Copies of this chain bind each other. A is one copy, B any other.
Amino acid sequence: MPYIKVNTGNKEVGFDAPEGISLLDALKNEGFIPETPCNGKGICGKCRVLVHNSVPYTPEEKKHLTPSEINKGVHLSCMVKLSDDLEVSLVTGDRNASIVTDANISGTNGRPVVRKTFVSLPHPSISDQRADDIRLISSFSENTSYIINQNGGFQSFFLSFLRELPGILRDKDYNITVVEISGKITGVESGNTVSENFGVAVDIGTTTLAAYLYDLNAKEQKAVASRLNPQRKYGADVISRIEYSSKSLRNQAEMSLLIRNALNDLIQQLVNQAGIQHADIYAVTLAGNTTMLHLLLELPSANIASAPFIPVLLSGLELKPCDLNLNINHNGRLFVLPSVSAYIGADTTAAVLSTEMHKKADISLLIDIGTNGEIVIGNSSFLCACSTAAGPAFEGANISCGIGSVTGAISAVSVTDNGGFEITTIGGQKPVGLCGSGLIDAAACMLKTGVMDETGRILDEDEWPDNSKIFSDRLITVNNQKAFLLVPARSTGHGEDIYISQKDIRELQNAKAAIAAGINILIDETRSDTADIKNVYLSGGFGSFINIDSAITIGLLPKEFSDRTRPVGNAAGAGAICALLSEENLSEICEIAKKIKYLELSARLDFTSQYTENMFFGTDL
């Protein structure tokens, strides 16, 4: 059995691995998680490791590697079959993700989902023999106008609740705090604990998880925690994860467990930060795209991945904490927020809720650009959505020097007066790659400086405007392709050039064409006009970093949007928070999900023409 020694940068670890499997699989099995958007298919070139032994290269593998990488001994681990002992160094460890957790909260009127009320119950006596349950229900419903939910008279109390009930009633002489969740009594605590009333809102993104702890009485945020989605080790995109999860029930369970454990870690962080107890948390709202929610709930997801794209569940779902083994009060409830279709998930319905676009008379447009671009248009009388397969270009995948929104990622690029390119990186560190907003900025700069034309062709130097000749040393050739050098190796964090190749530009064109086509089709379908759209909300991490002018320059957004576009941070997380803070919102999000009309772009003849029309960059520079 080959023995693999791994240098992670921080430590060295060794393990035995089965002969014949790929080095990538061996590293995955041991929890080293190279970013693998293509899930080991040799396509993305992202699973690079430095192999210290001499291992021959296949012609396929060489395509994805630069000569300098090959010189050093860098390999695609998915292409290396294990036969002998190996010593490897990880070249792309997990960087600290810069996760956008800003959540703009508005419209949280009314009761929070969890409500605590202090009650002194009358003592039992021979003339008041009401049982514990009846005493609780009747005294409580006398004190409030609340209707106790009953299914034809049958209660749905948890047995665990009933088992605790007599002890809790008598512990502090019938002074108790009653816990109601969406109108049902679900818990009782001894004494007055009204002030300890917390809930958690969660956004399960394909890339990142964000969790927000709220004081439900004050409607105040008490802590935020985020982390990368641990399922990434099975691929960056939802399709790779569906494929992995669908291979066996064991995989399906594993994918679910990865998320559940991560959520429990986040809850632990929140609890630690705020100095509260797990048992003080009675409700969790869960937003996420349709696939992420299926994987969380351990539901079969295979039908999401192929036409006609049919999920198992779109309805909102109320669960018990034990259904997902989440560490909150065992008498609490989980609310999985409702989705619209396979590719318009609860993250989008939550985002709509948080923007309140469904309440406004003016038409709004909500755009969440990730691997898929989810776009919603509408106002108080209509809502219409589509999802475009933009591909992972904006998340750094399939781009030569692409990288997610991690520290060191170039997030902004501009041309300086003295003929240089100014770059900004996340965290201010030396650059190590280009994230989506940086890519758009860079492309916009290339257009503005005339080193690239509207068709997206990187021009030969002799075609450049004269005042751009100062950039001539930036025109390089990589893998027989023209490329534009952004940062030379000497100035980067990893000692390699950061550049944009002709192929990268084509990827960007595809991605932006898909989004722009989606926007245009929604406008057409709803007989709206670009000028009618008064608010354009850009949600998600990418939307927070994006330079609106650059987005308009490359034709991702129509130029009319320049004065009305604003980032809304993690709108999915914000929607999950809104649902947690207001029962009205919790009901409303189900209405939103029902109201959104979904357009399946793959079924539309106009999509191809719109896509082609939008492939070129804009002419309004």
A residues neighboring B (CB under 8 Å): 124-134, 137, 149-157, 159, 162-163, 165-167, 182, 184, 297-300, 303, 307-319, 323, 335, 338-339, 341-342, 583, 586-587, 589-591, 598, 600, 602-603
Contact = CB atoms under 8 A, between A and B. Distances in A.
A300 B171 CA distance: 14
Given A154-B335, A162-B299, A299-B163, A132 B311 contact: yes
Residue among A153, A162, A341 with most chain B CB within 10 A = A153
Contact of A133 (B132, B163, B315, B600): B315
Given A130-B310, A154-B316, A154-B318, 14 more contacts: A125-B308, A126-B600, A126-B602, A129-B600, A131-B339, A153-B590, A154-B182, A154-B317, A155-B316, A157-B313, A157-B315, A159-B299, A162-B297, A166-B310
A162 B298 CA distance: 9
Contacts of A300: 163, 166-167
A355 to B, nearest CB: 20
A184 B184 CA distance: 18
A155 B319 CA distance: 9
Contacts of A603: 126-127
A312 B166 contact: yes
A163 to B, nearest CB: 6
Given A132-B311, A163-B300, A166-B303, A317 B126 contact: no
A386 to B, nearest CB: 12
B133 A313 contact: yes
Contact of A591 (B125, B131, B153): B153
Given A153-B316, A308-B124, A590-B154, A159 B298 contact: yes
Nearest to A314: B131
Contacts of A307: 126
Contacts of A339: 131
B590 A323 contact: no
Nearest to A152: B587
A388 to B, nearest CB: 16
Residue among A157, A182, A602 with most chain B CB within 10 A = A157
A308 B165 CA distance: 17
Nearest to A341: B129
A337 to B, nearest CB: 9
Nearest to A583: B152
Contacts of A303: 132, 166
A591 B153 CA distance: 8
- Among all A-B residue pairs, the 5 with the closest Cβ atoms: A153-B590, A131-B314, A154-B318, A154-B316, A131-B311
A318 B156 contact: yes
Contacts of A317: 154-157, 162
Nearest to A319: B159
A418 to B, nearest CB: 55
B162 A318 contact: no
Residue among A127, A156, A167 with most chain B CB within 10 A = A156
B163 A298 contact: yes
Given A156-B318, A318-B151, A129 B586 contact: no
A307 B589 CA distance: 50
Contacts of A314: 131, 133-134
Contacts of A151: 149, 182, 184, 318
Contact of A315 (B129, B137, B313): B137
Contacts of A163: 298-300, 312
A308 B125 CA distance: 5
Contacts of A602: 126
13 contacts: A126-B307, A129-B341, A131-B312, A131-B339, A133-B315, A150-B590, A151-B182, A152-B182, A152-B583, A152-B590, A154-B182, A163-B300, A166-B310
A159 B586 contact: no
Nearest to A339: B131
Contacts of A130: 310
A603 B124 CA distance: 14
